[in-house]
Every structure is written in C-alpha cells, then in structure tokens.
Amino acid sequence: MAFTVKTAEFITSAGLTLELPPPARAEIAVVGKSNVGKSSLINSLTGRNKLAKISATPGKTKLINYFLLNGEFYLVDLPGYGFAKAPKEEQKKWGELMEKYLSSGRVSHLIMLIDIRHDPTELDRQMFGYMLYYGIPYTLVATKADKLAKSKRKQAANALAKKLGAPPYATAYSSETGDGRAELLERIGAIVCPPDCGDTNGE
C-alpha cells in the first residue's frame, strides 16, 4: 500500500542549545542551500500549504524546525546554507548548529535538495561531505523540476548527483506540479517502516 501523510503538525524550533523533542520512530531531515525550496517541498509533501513558512527572503530559516507526521516520525527543516548576505557570525553559528545536530545520532535520514537548474556549489559539496562523514543515509532531490522540459528532468537530476560526487541518481521534484512526490513519499515510507516492520505486531 502506498505511503500517505495523514497528519502533520509543527512541534518546536531548536537553536544551538539543541533542546529537541523526545525521539520518534524516525527523524528525516531536509537540508539544502537558501532558496532551494525546502519549505515548499515540505508543504507539498505533507499536503499542508502553510505548514512550513515560505519567505521571499533567502536565509530566513535560522532554527531547526520539527514537524510530526502521522503522530509517528519527525520531518525536520534545517536552516538553509550559502546565503551570501548572512553575517560571518551567523554563518559560524549555522556551522555549529549543523555539526551538533548531525553528530547527535538522532538523524535517521537526510533529504538533500539541489536546484535542478544549477550545478552544485562548493557549499553543496561540503554539505554532502558532512553527510558522508557522519554516515547518515541520504536521498538526493533536484527541486524546481517544472522549470525544465519534462523530457529533460530525469537526465538533469541524475547529472547533478554525479557532479556532486554521489551515485548518479536524484529524484526530480516540483512543488508546483507534484512531480516526484509519489516517489519521495515511497522513499519516506520505506525509511519510516521497512518491509519487516509490519510484522512486529507492535512489539
């Protein structure tokens, strides 16, 4: 049966003190550069237009935002990176916050977003390096896929993954049209409930 998001609610925001909510079945974090479309993707995935606040100003999300889905697992919105106008002190705090969170042992999976229209930046590569260093499983998603012709999306997404230094596969996603949503939900379903979890009878 296809995985669906039945309920989604904002739980809390966390800063450098990392006062996080109690652990859940899984913790799936969404990461990417400023203005890559994290909030739009979260809203599109959950079917809640105003769950994650979308701002016209890049770099607006400065805290870790927790959303509880289906009352079982967290979808976590991480602060965007690479906003050139951010003060050096703010960039330093971002680095400390990310390092503390990624090394916390709580993260089950990272969904890393890259803009399908642009080559990965040095900061994208750095973020990918963090993921590998901390040994966190990941899924690459190429956002804003509707900006390309449908026939070019899959090839462009896979090429971006290769340029990032990852195996050449990424999900092409459009928050505008919903393209890629079913594929990403299926991926999340497999993370939250592997094939054998339905056989545990709650044990």
* Nearest C-alpha neighbor of 64 from the set 35, 105, 116, 27: 27
- Using CA atoms, how far apart are residues 46 and 101, in angstroms rounded to an integer? 23
Q: What is the pLDDT of residue 196?
A: 60
Q: What is the pLDDT of residue 82?
A: 76
Q: What is the pLDDT of residue 62?
A: 78
Angle, to 10 degrees, between the axis of helix 122-133 and the axis of helix 88-102? 30
Q: What is the pLDDT of residue 59?
A: 47
Q: SS in 3 state form for 119-179?
A: CCCHHHHHHHHHHHHCCCCEEEEEECHHHCCHHHHHHHHHHHHHHHCCCCCCEECCCCCCC
Q: What is the pLDDT of residue 45?
A: 93
140, 158 Cβ separation under 8 angstroms: no
Q: Which domains does the chain have, with CATH numbers?
A: 8-191 (3.40.50.300)
Whether the predicted model's global pTM rises above the 0.75 cut:
yes
- The whole-number mean pLDDT for each consecutive block of 10 residues of the chain, a chain of 203 residues, reads 89 90 94 91 91 60 88 94 71 85 95 97 92 96 97 97 96 96 96 67 37
Q: What is the pLDDT of residue 28?
A: 98
